[in-house]
Chains A and B, each alone.
Chain A
Amino acid sequence: MRIFVTFILLITNLTLQSTLLHSIAIFEVVPNTAILIIVSYAILRGDIEGAFTGFFAGLLQDIFFGRYIGLNAFLYMTAGFICGKPFRDFYRESFLTPLFLSGVATLCYEIAFYFTNYFFRARLDFLYYLNRNILPGTVYTLIMSIPLYRIVYAINAKLEAYEKARRRLF
């Protein structure tokens, strides 16, 4: 049940992110809702589930929009794994954890993407890419992080209630 719901969530996110979110893009920058969902998932459920969700979300994005498979899968999986490490140590209702972790995760993801796809092709103008692509992307993603955390939190709460009910039957 949880796997099914996560799958539907990831596919919906990919569909909406590649179609509707472009119409609310600012300066040609689209918020990276995939990484927001993964970080929220990792905060709520821990590192293993965060890592698996990240792996499959990255795989989906690679299949559709990548020249080769593996980079997005690896980066999102790392984000899920690392952000899931402190999941027992923070209150879930606080909004600072997802805000901070999403910002750091998006920043690292964009820098890693630049590094592997641009730096190694002799596009060494890092400051330009920082100002035009990386920082606007991070800021816009940060703005969307809280609403998305609430959505994932609500979905997760319903799933946990459902699982609790199922366990009580036995």
Chain B
Amino acid sequence: MDFLSRHKRAFFIIMTIVCLIAAVLTLGFKFQPTLFHNTIGYLVAPLQNGVTGIASWADDKFSFLFNSDGIKNENEKLKEEIEDLRLQNSRLKQTEEELEELRALYRLEEKYQDYPKIGARIIAKDVSNWQHIYIIDKGQNDGLEKNMVVLASGGLAGRILETGPNYSKIMAIIDDTSSVSAKSARTEDVGFVKGDQQLSSSGLCKMEYIDANAEMIEGDEIITSQLSEFYPTGLTIGTVKEIRTDQSGLNKYAIIQPAVDFKNLETVLVINRNFHEEYLDTLGDAYVGTQEE
């Protein structure tokens, strides 16, 4: 300790240089010290799992104390809704049969309802207020790999950034650095759905690089396009809330309301196929990155 006390400044400078080198290595050269990450993650993820489990157990047990009136009303409303949904369901079944036949005619393979999915629970959310990164409780031991797609309540939620043995780190599409190649379902106009910190506090994101002559209107459904290198085509992202022209007047951008409610996100589904690997296989040696990260 005496040695340290006498050479404080030198040690501080050395540690600063270590941090800088680590940042350059991991950011610039994409070097990930996975053994180190995995060890710490392996220890902490079960703790986070436990705490979230206790919190949701407590929530389950005690929420009725605050909610008993609301529960009765909710019950009535839910019964009505069930009747409506039953009717809708039978109608949709008929439409689905027709769709099956038409699809067979065009020989379209692999609707995304058929992708193998794994359910997972979110056990931790990022502590800094600048990112939207979640930790889920499934990892390499359950067969998950980097860049797998994550869905939640029928819409695209994000993708996996890193996996450990028993946890994975996922990035939401409303995170500031996220960017998804997307198109409008009705008019097939392509663009990129990017997260924005200013919009993500209200749970929204924006779609950029839309052609100025595009005919998108409010309420259009936005789905992933076939140009994406991480996401399969046809996944619902959200609906257009507003369309604006940017300052230069040449491009339009749209505010998108995602189909997933990120404020109350608890369980997600991970598609167990690595589309990024398949995309790289189709390219062979000529790999060129797209606008997506």
A residues adjacent to B (C-beta < 8 A): 11-12, 14-23, 27-30, 32, 34, 47-48, 51, 55, 60-61, 63-65, 67-71, 73-74, 77-78, 81, 110, 113-114, 117-118, 121, 123, 125, 128-129, 132-133, 137
Contacts and interface: CB of A to CB of B under 8 A. Distances in A.
Contacts of A12: 47
Interface string B116-142: 000000011111111101010000000
A20 B51 contact: yes
Contacts, number: 128
B130 A68 contact: no
Contact of A64 (B11, B36, B41, B201): B41
Nearest to A31: B127
A111 to B, nearest CB: 12
Given A70-B22, A77-B19, A61 B5 contact: no
B104 interface: no
A92 to B, nearest CB: 20
A15 B197 contact: no
Interface in B182-219: 197-198, 201
A51 B201 CA distance: 33
B103 interface: no
A20 B124 contact: no
A118 B55 CA distance: 33
Contacts of B133: 65
Contacts of A128: 198
A125 B176 CA distance: 14
Given A15-B48, A30-B127, A70-B21, 15 more contacts: A11-B47, A14-B44, A17-B127, A19-B51, A19-B55, A21-B127, A27-B201, A51-B15, A67-B177, A70-B27, A77-B16, A78-B16, A110-B129, A125-B198, A133-B129
A22 B198 contact: no
Given A19-B48, A30-B129, A81-B12, A67 B161 contact: yes
15 contacts: A15-B44, A15-B48, A28-B129, A51-B12, A51-B15, A60-B44, A63-B36, A65-B127, A67-B27, A70-B23, A70-B27, A74-B19, A77-B19, A121-B177, A129-B197
Interface of B: 1, 4-5, 8, 11-12, 15-16, 19-24, 26-27, 33, 36-37, 40-41, 43-44, 47-48, 51-52, 55, 123-131, 133, 135, 161, 169, 176-177, 197-198, 201, 263
Max chain B CB contacts within 10 Å: which of A29, A81, A114?
Answer: A81
A34 B127 CA distance: 9
B124 A19 contact: yes
A128 B153 CA distance: 31
